[in-house]
């Protein structure tokens, strides 16, 4: 397996032989790549086509979905939940648990009569 990776152009470094600088660089590189992929995913969701309620229901009932369909479904769900335009920032906030926090804040305000 390692020989195949080398043939594909990858550099193999034994973890025991790697310096702290090399290990740190690899970790930072992986983190950066992960952040770029996540940012692209949030953007793809925000850029997805809008769905009608009927289209959303059909998609929710469907078992196997394409990536595009998953993005469309997520956008439709976010749009209905927050009732605002879906942006990459909204997708990220929702992933971070923003909606329950908003609901708690609204509940607290109603409890104190605001």
User: How far apart are alpha carbons 99 and 101 in whole angstroms?
Assistant: 5
Q: pLDDT (tens digit, 9 = 90+) per residue, 37-46?
A: 999 999 999 9
- Enumerate residue ranges in the chain where pLDDT < 50: 112-114
pLDDT value of residue 24:
82
Q: pLDDT (tens digit, 9 = 90+) per residue, 91-102?
A: 999 999 999 888
pLDDT value of residue 21:
76
pLDDT value of residue 113:
47
pLDDT value of residue 20:
74
pLDDT value of residue 87:
98
Entry pTM: 0.72
Distances in Å between the Cα of 108 and the Cα atoms of 20, 32, 83, 97, 114 are: 49, 38, 21, 17, 9
pLDDT value of residue 112:
41
């Amino acid at each position: 397996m390692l020989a195949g990776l080398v043939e594909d152009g990858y550099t193999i470094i034994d973890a025991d032989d790697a310096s702290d600088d090399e290990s740190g660089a690899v970790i930072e590189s992986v983190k950066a790549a992960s952040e770029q992929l996540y940012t692209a995913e949030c953007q793809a969701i925000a850029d997805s086509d809008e769905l009608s309620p009927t289209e959303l229901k059909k998609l929710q009932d469907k078992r196997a979905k394409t990536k595009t369909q998953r993005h469309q479904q997520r956008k439709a769900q976010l749009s209905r939940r927050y009732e605002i335009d879906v942006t990459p920032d909204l997708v990220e906030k929702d992933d971070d648990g923003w909606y329950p926090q908003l609901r708690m804040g609204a509940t607290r305000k109603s409890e104190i009569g605001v």
